[in-house]
Structure 1
Amino acid sequence: MSRSATGLPFDDIRALVAAMPGRDEAAVAAIRARDAELTKPAGSLGQMETLVEWLGGWQGTPRPAVNRPLVAIFAGNHGVAVRGISAFPTSVTQQMVENFAAGGAAINQICIANDLGLKVFDLALDIPTGDITIEAAMGEAACAATMAFGMEATAGGVDLIALGEMGIGNTTIAAAVAAGLFGGTGADWVGPGTGLDAAGVARKADAVDAALAIHAGHLADPLEVLRRLGGRELAAIAGAVLAARMSRIPVILDGYVATAAAAVLYRLDPSSLDHCQFGHLSAEPAHRRLLDAMGKKPLLDLGMRLGEGTGAALATGLVRAAALIHAGMATFTQAGVSGKD
């Protein structure tokens, strides 16, 4: 039984989920009214128009803007990596964090191109989580504390946050979390990740199946799925998503791992991700399956599978463009253009 029944940390998470604010419908109505007056045929900008409604509805303003966007990357290491489930050693996680700091990663260039802030959070990389095939990844208090740490990413006047991750072995973790939340076997949810061959993918599936077996009986509770099968970067992302909701900050999620983290909140309350967009469809095969399970559609499909927030960052540029279009276009009256009779 989850210790949350005794009033320990997970109760605080549940209380926040129960208290989530909704969308500002008055702001959405005002955005739609202005859109009807802009110098274009109705609906001609397609999803760019609905993105503005989403942005303004969650920012709570009829004139939404993306002035202080942030890409937050959470980095964690995993005990299950000893099972041969990745093409790279866990030391690469720390090396990539250092590469982010030096400005040498793909995400750095995308942030420069789109004028995005970037923060990288090192989640105790020298202490991997428990090997999920034989024990829980985290205790409840540690999981809740990591979620609380993730919540801090939304501080400082951020008006849009894109969430990504770095962690060798974490597509195996994402697969385990997805299976724990939505059912199925390891083979249903694993993929090549960083470039595994068929034998490596089979090892991933076996690891997920072993984890599901050892934790069976505890997986009806989504927060137990997170602490038993997840990782620190997933817990931090879930915390950041929840904190953003409480502060009315729109969220863009990256690929498979970030989506698995957010799915924990979805299973607590399907409306908990209404303030989120899914930045892109990862080439990791099970990402589509996970999005479909939640009825979500990605903004981009570029065949990417890098992680580190890259897809979410590219999508942030799209959202910023949508906001600028809505704010900067002239109305028919302002431009002296004849409207539809």
Structure 2
Amino acid sequence: RFYVKAVRDRMWEETDSPSKRGAYATLATVLDEVIRLLAPIAPYLTERMYQRLDGEATTVHALSYPEPDADLRDDDLERDVAAFRDIEEAAANARQQAGRKLRWPVPRVVVETDDETVAAAVDRLKALIADRVNARDVVVTDAFDELVETAEPQMAAIGPAFGGDAQKVMEAVQGATRAEVEGGEVAVDGEPVDLDDEMVEYVAEPPEHVSGADFDGGTVYVDTSLTPDIESEGYARDVIRRVQEMRKELDLDVEARIRVGVAVDDDRVAGFVDEHADLIAGEVRADAWLDDASDAADADGGLVEEWEVEGVAVTIGVEPVA
């Protein structure tokens, strides 16, 4: 599943290319050898798979059992990919914490690690990581210097020192930044509070619009700040997903061409969709745009559906090209 996702774009290239052929050849080789490996314990399933995939021999059980080829092993690449998959999972967790779905791009992903092996893996696989985590940029560092240290009041020290005002001091300290505490900006009833070191501990947290998640080699920080450009692509990707679902409902062949129409009940979002008309058409295999999404209802085999995308009503019409 991981490899198929990683090479999906290469396999969908319209024209033949060495990259596309290489992806298909790799997948075919892996499937062939896995089927042979499983044949003794799942004879009927593997036989059916073999006959559908190749079937050159009378039966998969007449083929030789696969043997490992040491020349195909690349320990460095395996180590890099293991780190990459950990980073990808951490980025997904950070996105989930922030409520930002994978279809929407993010400005950057920062990988904080003091492990030189992990840092080198990120450098080597940066383009693939950026694609898989849907980030405009991937940065690796040994220290993410944008963390904000916020104060945690320590009642054991504050209580005896401030007596009846201890609760007010606790509330004033809670959530203040280190700079505010050390700068004497924490006040109660308008008066600055003199705090000793033992009265406050600090917790480092990501800044606003940044979410972090740990992995074995460090921490991944995802910048989820929104720009018009990112919003524009995000809405376009959501429209693409809905059109693809409608293609499935119509039981269209993956190569089938369509005409599509999109009506958005929000001028700003409609502008975003218009900006990415070519992207949408290319992804959903559309030859033309309908003047009115509802026109698809009158076409043979057409479909019109109402969707809600990020709280915005969107009407999409899809009709097959005869």
Flag the structure with higher helix content.
1
TM-score by length of 1: 0.20
TM-score under structure 2 length normalisation: 0.21
Task: Pick the structure with more strand per residue.
Answer: 2
